[in-house]
Amino acid sequence: MKKLAENGIQPHDAEMKSDGRKWSLMEKLLLGLTLDQYLQQVVRNKFNWLLALIFAIGIPLIVYRFIFGLGSVTHSSYDYPWGLLLGFGLFCMVPLSASGFMLGTSVELFGRHDFEPIERLALLNGLLGYLFAVVYLLVDLGQPWRLAYPMVYSFGPAAVLFLVGWHVATYLSVQLAEVSTAFFEWIGFRRGYEFIRKGTVGLTVAGVILSTLHQGALGALFVYAPGKVHPLWYSASFQWIHFFVSSIPAGLCMVICVSTVVIYTMKWRCDQRFIDNLDRITISLAKGAAMGLITYLFIKFLAVAHDNEWAYLTTGWGLWWLIEIGFGVILPLILLSIGIHHKNVNLCRIGALVTVLGVLLNRLNTSLITFNWHLYQEVPHILEVIISITIFAIYIMTYRFILNRLPILYQFKSRADA
């Protein structure tokens, strides 16, 4: 695409062509290129070759899993019923998707319109993260075709998972509505856009409620397993709030990371407003993340004090806990603080990446690594790892497909502007 731009070809970004005709849907899908140009740039991109390789191996494996059952791609562990597919796919993807409600709240509820250039990216990040968490779940469930049972057929309202199921489903709908404004602009359905915009405040408030509850509920799921999750990672009273609070820096930092990737690899798609504002917004998001991290650090130690678990800190597991806190919370806190103080955007970006990795480590620690700490350690089956990577690759491909087309990184020029 960069090469095409040098040759003076403009990507599709407005309702009308420069000569006043409407773009057809096919032209929109091809980004305003001819089919030849489009295919050439697809083949030219080395990253597409990597994706193709992953799909060539991974997609047959996913089919294989549905034909021969979960046992064919996992270790069929009775002691570790939740493996990598949920440990990574559900428990990691969801906190990284907290960006949608964070930025939605800032812009729409708190009136911080200075965040607007990145709001749609944050909303899309939220929507896709949740969507693919559900994809991971569908691959992992024993009987995925019964996914809707807790909604329509058989209710277990006292279970935390019931709450997670309902809230993820409703929140997905809310996010779909939030992101649909971009889609309506793109296909030129003005009335749909205006209809959704009218309900923005309601949708955003619903987003905050649902996010608070199910980010927390994912933590509360592990409260069912005292004695299985190591005491340092377990807190009957605070587990939900640990998960909720850590999802805030995780979501904000994921947006910083994604926007960094975007600005380096897809600059042609960003409009001047996005490019000009990104550095300022990155610093502001870093401030939010730093505040989230210091709160998280504080309540993590509060939980240790609350259950009087100081003695565990001198054990091997305690060392591992301190490493997680040191690498995943304190280090990014320092990086972000220095970055914010010196207005060093790149340092903030590194800090954001470390924050994301830190939250991933915490979720994997809770769900897999310290789970069953007095039993053996489960190492995921190689096929389970490949399937997890494949789904993540589909996630990246979908993400890029949408960013290339919908007005997420650029403002759509409607007929009135032209």
Partner 1 sequence: MSKITRRKFLAGSVAGSAAIAMAPTKKAFGANLEGFPDGMGVLVDLTRCVGCRSCEAACNKEQKLPEPDKSFDDFSVFDERPHGEHRRPTEKTYTVVNRYDQTKTEPVYRKIQCNHCNEPACLTSCFVNAYKKTPEGAVIYNDKVCVGCRNCMIACPFNIPAFSYSSALNPIIKKCIFCYDTRLKDGQVPACVESCPQQVMLFGKRKELIRVAHARIRRSPGKYVDHLYGENEVGGTGWLYLSAVPFKEAGFNVSLPNEPIINNVKDFLAIVPMVLAIWPALFTGFHLLSTKGKSHGHGEGHSHEEQEEH
Pick out residues in 279-298 that bind partner 1 (CB under 8 A): 280, 284, 287
CB of 206 to partner 1, least distance (A): 8
Q: Tell me whether residue 1 or residue 369 sits nearer to partner 1 (CB atom).
A: 369
Alpha carbon distance 386, 53 (integer Å): 12
CB of 290 to partner 1, least distance (A): 13
134 contributes a contact to partner 1 by CB under 8 A:
no
Alpha carbon distance 331, 16 (integer Å): 49
Strand partners, 226: 229
Tally Cβ neighbours within 10 Å of residue 108: 21
Estimate to the nearest angstrom the gap between the alpha carbon of 159 and the chain centroid.
Answer: 25
Site for partner 1 in 216-245 (CB under 8 A): 216-217, 219-228, 236-237, 239-240
Alpha carbon distance 132, 264 (integer Å): 24
Three-state DSSP class for 112?
coil
**Location of structure tokens 């020029």:** 413
For partner 1, which stretch binds (CB under 8 A), given 8-16, 101-109, 332-340, 391-399? 101-109
114 contributes a contact to partner 1 by CB under 8 A:
yes
81 contributes a contact to partner 1 by CB under 8 A:
yes
Helix, strand, coil percentages, rounded to 5, for the chain? 75, 0, 25
Contact with partner 1 (CB under 8 A) among 9, 59, 147, 389 = 147
**Location of structure tokens 């009308």:** 16
For partner 1, which stretch binds (CB under 8 A), given 12-20, 145-153, 255-263, 399-407? 145-153
76 contributes a contact to partner 1 by CB under 8 A:
yes
For partner 1, which stretch binds (CB under 8 A), given 34-42, 137-145, 302-310, 382-390? 137-145
Alpha carbon distance 333, 293 (integer Å): 7
The amino acid at residue 217 is A
**Residue/partner pairs of 5-13 with CB below 8 Å, 24 or more apart:** 5/268, 9/33, 9/37, 11/268, 11/269, 12/405, 13/271, 13/407, 13/410, 13/412, 13/413
Contact with partner 1 (CB under 8 A) among 6, 7, 20, 110 = 110
The tokens of 209 are what?
């409620």
User: Does an H or E element contain 219, and which?
Assistant: helix 200-221
Q: Tell me whether residue 107 or residue 352 sits nearer to partner 1 (CB atom).
A: 107
Q: Tell me whether residue 67 or residue 305 sits nearer to partner 1 (CB atom).
A: 67
**Location of structure tokens 């053996």:** 376
Alpha carbon distance 367, 62 (integer Å): 23
190 contributes a contact to partner 1 by CB under 8 A:
no
Contact with partner 1 (CB under 8 A) among 71, 298, 315, 338 = 71
Contact with partner 1 (CB under 8 A) among 51, 59, 209, 402 = 209
Contact with partner 1 (CB under 8 A) among 68, 301, 310, 401 = 68
DSSP 205-217: HHHHHHHHHHHHH
212 contributes a contact to partner 1 by CB under 8 A:
yes
Contact with partner 1 (CB under 8 A) among 24, 25, 60, 149 = 149
For partner 1, which stretch binds (CB under 8 A), given 13-21, 29-37, 135-143, 347-355? 135-143
CB of 207 to partner 1, least distance (A): 9
Size of the site for partner 1 (CB under 8 A): 76
31: left (phi over 0), alpha (psi -120 to 50) or beta: left
Alpha carbon distance 298, 228 (integer Å): 24
251 contributes a contact to partner 1 by CB under 8 A:
no
CB of 218 to partner 1, least distance (A): 11
Contact with partner 1 (CB under 8 A) among 7, 143, 272, 308 = 143
Contacts of 101 (CB under 8 A, 6+ apart): 126, 204, 207, 208, 210, 211, 251
Strand partners, 22: 16
69 contributes a contact to partner 1 by CB under 8 A:
yes
For partner 1, which stretch binds (CB under 8 A), given 214-222, 293-301, 328-336, 395-403? 214-222
For partner 1, which stretch binds (CB under 8 A), given 69-77, 253-261, 339-347, 384-392? 69-77
Site for partner 1 in 330-389 (CB under 8 A): 375-376
Task: Indicate the length of the chain as a whole number.
Answer: 418
CB of 264 to partner 1, least distance (A): 23
The tokens of 277 are what?
């504002």
Q: Tell me whether residue 264 or residue 376 sits nearer to partner 1 (CB atom).
A: 376
